Amino acid sequence: MDPNKEEFLKEFGADYGYPNGPKTIDEIRATEFKRLNGRIFFFSITRNSILSKFHFLFLFFGLVYLDHAGATLYSELQMEAVFKDLATNVYGNPHSQSDSSYATCDIVREARQQVLDYFNASPKEYKCIFTSGATAALKLVGEAFPWSDQSCFMYTMENHNSVLGIREYALSQGSAAFAIDIEESLDHSRGNLMSVKVSQHQIQRRNEARFFEKEPTGGAYNLFAFPSECNFSGLRFSLDLVKIIKEDSDRILEGSPFCSGRWMVLIDAAKGCATQTLDLSKHPADFVVISFYKLFGYPTGLGALIARNDAAKLLKKTYFSGGTVAASIADTDFIKRRQEIEELFEDGTTSFLSIASIRHGFKMLNSLTMPSISRHTTSLTTYVRKMLLALKHENGASVCTLYRSDNVKVVCHGWGPIISFNLRRPDNSWFGYREVEKLASLSQIQLRTGCFCNPGACAKYLGLSHSDLLSNIEAGHVCWDDYDVVNGKPAGAVRVSFGYMSTYEDAKMAYLLWMWLLKFIDFVRTSFVSLPNQIGRYHLRERPSSFLNEGPRKLLAGGVFLKSITIYPIKSCAGFSAASWPLSSTGLQYDREWLLKSLTGDILTQKKVPEMCLISTSIDLHQGILFVESPRCKERLQINFKSNTCNGSTGEDFHIHGQRYEGRSYNNEVNIWFSQAVGQPCCLLRCSMSNYYLNNSRCVGMRRDVQSRLNFVNEAQFLLISKESVSDLNDRISSNMKNSALGVAVQVNPMRFRPNLVISGGEPYAEDGWRTLKIGDNCFTSQGGCNRCQMINLVNEGGQMQKSNEPLATLASYRRVKGKILFGILLRYETADEVEQETNSWLQVGQEIHPNSF
């Protein structure tokens, strides 16, 4: 056994792995989560066509899943039981009167009881209302709660956006709303009950004058909401808050106009109840919301509101639907609602097949028991937190900043299996969390970054003020974007979270990158820890000029020459090479002048439709014809592009990357051909006018200093790749493979990067330092390095798209610049003037290149 694992088991062996359960964690993973263990692919690459020798490439992909707070994984045995159930039983609409409908009613009734049993809730006191998820359950409470102008919605800062959304219902009804922070301590004089100190944030109200017309009477209903576990930090709030708020609000809210009134308590248990018991017999909350995919992975789109009977009767429902009424008359204002709470609030037909499947998930959880699951996940979380805190740079600076309220006087139920953190460079500046996520993805590690839909906790733990948040928004930062560090501060964090099937190997063990799973701790160590004399580790580059320090950048005696020219007429389709080609104000003439658009308006690319790489193109300049071929189409398509009619097309405006274009569409014959080629309905568009000009300030390594008109390209008119740089990359890949004991060399062709221009001669990466260059009599300006993505890891093998970690993983090890992985440079063609016109200039293979470096 690995010595590190032996040490781990010495400390956590009593809690880790379900030692007293029906299966150990290793048995669970081997029999119920085989899909995480990796898949083996074999395919061949022709090495020498004359000798008919083949080189076999062996790839091993495994997955490390660390986003259980987002969605945990379903068990394969669980799904087998679900499929068997559905395949052997007939479940009808529960609103019918047939035998199959009665069978469904029985299953739904049993499912409600299972949910109540899970929370130790008596059916005499609680009801289970099925919803489409925890968010729908929260929405139901918000819109039906008896708000008044004297009511209040109080919530902890650590709350999901779906809870914060209740605020809109409260404010729209004239109620007040405010966030609080809670500090807690044990009060021995009161029988070791919690003594709670509340720090109240500003009161929000949309109709303040209306409120002050009346004195609070104490009869209004107020709602307090908190999560059982914070999905940002993992903090488990004390469930004693339920009784404290309901019975002692006068004391903890002393001086507040809302200290009186009737307080009701809502618990968001969507995250917390997956690894910690919530006993409603001890903590009688009025409302609890859950989503079942958070508990056991499947089904999605199903949740529940567990409501106290007396609280549910206070909810004021307006809408009625099939299933919620006993009788109604169509042409007069008459309705008789059903009396049962579940029937009253479950609009329409419930998702009865999903409801039937949850018993198989509960069976799995109950076999392990919730205390065992809690101990298991806690052992992994404690271990990883300890390992992350121990990571140091060479200068002694800490690598990880963990977000946890250890410095706050809080009595709670401990910490859930969540670790949120950010990583620092040796100079104490921050790595962007998106950079971490991209590199983790390269290593088959699935985690979560951002604020996790919890803006209050995010701002609280990151120390972001209101002005910081507004400044971030003004800078363009919104949820799910790439603005991860704004004004020197992180705008979010990295989160790893564990589930009942997580293993020690997920958290620690480092195997060889392709042969075994690269695990989390070693990913952080190899990717972000600065150590002396590292070879083959990830080195962080602060700016592209540091590339120039890797060795002399003298040109070889033979100079630098243009080796190949490639034109890609249709965006994301295959291109063709030419010995010479004319230039235009948009770059290479006809390059990326066409694109394919789906009927829903989405621009088709290889990221979405990998089959586009199989569409080949060529152009006959003399005839003015674009030829297009596809293995899915019998006939070769010919498009006369010199005709202004575009085969009877019409004009169309659309946007790409926020920029406006005007295009010309084609007739049905052309569109049907392309629809068959890509396997989905689409249409061909040709760029007739572009308002897309790059115009950015001058800066080292990212020179976007003058306007340049673009066709349907992502960033620039040209992408230039150096043959010598590709050779150096291949040497590094080969070295990494040999060091990993796999012993198989993977050779990357320059065309993998979809360049327009490939050059030969000079030192590797000399192009990084070029400011301008001249090819023949044509002048070009460098616009900086090209940021690479996982598209370069896709390769067409025998008509099938294959994906690996290379070359992006190796590039990430030495070509990272502030979260970007740069390879190749972007160019702008310097025309004689800025007007849109065709030029008489041509590029020709073999022309010498004269660069002007910094």
How far are the Cα atoms of 463, 654, 834 from residue 747, in angstroms, in the given order? 47, 39, 41
| Residues facing 493 on adjacent strands | 450
pLDDT of res. 306: 98
Strand segments, DSSP code E, in 125-241 are 126-131, 152-156, 176-187, 193-200, 221-227
Q: Which two tokens stand for residue 67?
A: 């986003």
**E strand or H helix at 597, and its extent?**
strand 594-598
- Residue ranges of the chain whose pLDDT lies below 50: 39-61, 209, 211-212, 407-408, 410-411, 509-519, 533-557, 645, 647-649, 690-707, 741-743, 834-837
Residues 6+ apart with CB under 8 A from 70: 448, 452, 497
Q: Which of 815, 767, 746, 821 is nearest to 790 (CA)?
A: 821
Alpha carbons 140 and 130: distance in angstroms, whole number: 11
Is 128 designated active site? no
Residues 6+ apart with CB under 8 A from 500: 72, 274, 275, 365, 368, 373, 376, 377
Find the catalytic residue in 230, 412, 453, 687.
453
Residues 6+ apart with CB under 8 A from 244: 193, 194, 196, 252
Per the CB < 8 A criterion, the answer to whether 174 and 147 are in contact is yes
The amino acid at residue 764 is: P
pTM above 0.85, yes or no: no
Per the CB < 8 A criterion, the answer to whether 75 and 36 are in contact is no
Alpha carbons 426 and 442: distance in angstroms, whole number: 23
Quick one: CA dihedral 203, 207, 209, 215, positive or negative? Answer: negative
Helix, strand counts (H, E) of the chain: 22, 42
pLDDT of res. 1: 74
Which residue matches tokens 């209004």? 220
CA atoms within 13 A on the CB side of 4: 11
Q: What is the DSSP string of 520-567?
A: HHHHHHHHH---TT-SSS--EESSGGGGGGGS--PPPTT--EEEEEEE
Q: Give Cα 379 distance to the centre of its chain.
A: 26
Alpha carbons 380 and 372: distance in angstroms, whole number: 13
pLDDT of res. 708: 55
What is the pairing mode between strands 820-829 and 778-787? antiparallel
Q: What does the pLDDT look like over 300-326, one tens digit per residue?
A: 999 999 999 999 999 999 999 988 888
Per the CB < 8 A criterion, the answer to whether 457 and 227 are in contact is no
Q: What does the pLDDT look like over 169-226, one tens digit per residue?
A: 999 999 999 999 988 665 655 555 557 788 899 999 987 545 445 555 567 999 999 9
pLDDT of res. 558: 61
